[in-house]
Amino acid sequence: MTPSDPRKIHVLMAGPQLPALAEPVEREFIVHKLWLAEDRPAFLAECGPLIRGVVTNAPVGASAELIAALPRLEIISSSGVGLDAIDLAAARQRGVTVCSTPGVLNDCVADTGLALLLAVARRLCEADRFMRDGLWSKGKFPLSTSLAGKTCGILGMGNIGQAVAKRAEAFGLRIAYSKPSPRSGLPFDRFDYFADPLDLARASDFLVLTLPGGPRTHHLVNTAMLDALGPRGFLINIARGSVVDQDALIEALVAGRIAGAGLDVFEDEPQVPPALIALDNVVLTPHIGSGTHETRAAMSQLAFANLQAHFNGQEVLTRVA
């Protein structure tokens, strides 16, 4: 590709972005902000024929309808690793390059997973409320669950799954995992592999979800999977809310068919069912897996670098389609 003059390139910002991404994009390109449009169809009819790039993130994505409204579109650069909100089939059909920001968020997402695991197993949030409500003088806090010697099952052993495994081993947990085929080149030779996710759930005390969202994994964690995890098992979800049948999860938690859950993602974000909020054996966080200053800055820099490389006639750094 011949390098283009960025001052003449129009890009669409599909949703609000952090300054670390928005500022360099606005400095280098002509930016159109879709989320500010009062009349979206009219807005796209006016600027759509000019747009050559889309800047987005995992929650906002880029729908087939949006892609169809941009006849000159060349690249979608997303700050995030989730791709379920980007219509990859529509992008491929049009020959549009799609980039995400893998790698730079692995550690922070894994940290969040271990924080949720620790919090729900040791009942840290309950203990905090117990203290703040002045209950310590009235009696002892209930016992919690130890990690050492338990099995941490990881459903999806990609980069984030491996980062979770490394941390979990440091807490004395045995590691097991499931994915369609065994992963070669794992840094540890002590991992137990299960081809069937149900078998992984049966073997796990803690089941950590790190697999991608999308149609193939929709409601993979269902009633059968939760029953396999059992009344002493904990579910930790740092993947996507769509991976879990949320109604089935609530039923299992209320009935005591699993011990508890640590959830950073939900089916209809930012809406969270009151039934989940009411449960003491659940720790909830508002999709903060990659939510640190350092990681979000790195994600923003990579998303901008992909956009810049494309229009400079270079190979993008992290192409997914």
Residues 59-68: contacts with CB within 8 Å, 24+ apart?
59/15, 59/85, 59/269, 59/287, 60/14, 60/15, 60/85, 61/14, 61/85, 61/86, 61/87, 62/14, 62/86, 62/87, 62/91, 63/87, 63/90, 64/89, 64/90, 66/14, 66/34, 67/91, 67/94, 67/96
Residue 297 C-beta-side C-alpha neighbours within 13 Å: 3
172-179 long-range Cβ contacts below 8 angstroms, 24+ apart: 172/147, 172/148, 173/147, 173/148, 173/149, 173/206, 174/149, 174/150, 175/151, 176/151, 176/152, 176/200, 176/203, 176/204, 177/153, 178/153, 178/154, 179/155, 179/211
pLDDT for the residue 45: 97
Q: Please list the active-site residues.
A: 240, 269, 287
The per-residue pLDDT for 165 is: 96
Q: What is the pLDDT of residue 264?
A: 98
Which residues of the chain fall below pLDDT 50? 1
Q: Walk me through the domains of the chain, giving residue ranges and CATH numbers.
A: 6-104+294-311 (3.40.50.720), 106-284 (3.40.50.720)
pLDDT for 1:
47
pLDDT digits (tens, 9 = 90+) for 205-255: 999 999 999 899 999 999 999 999 999 999 999 999 999 999 999 999 999
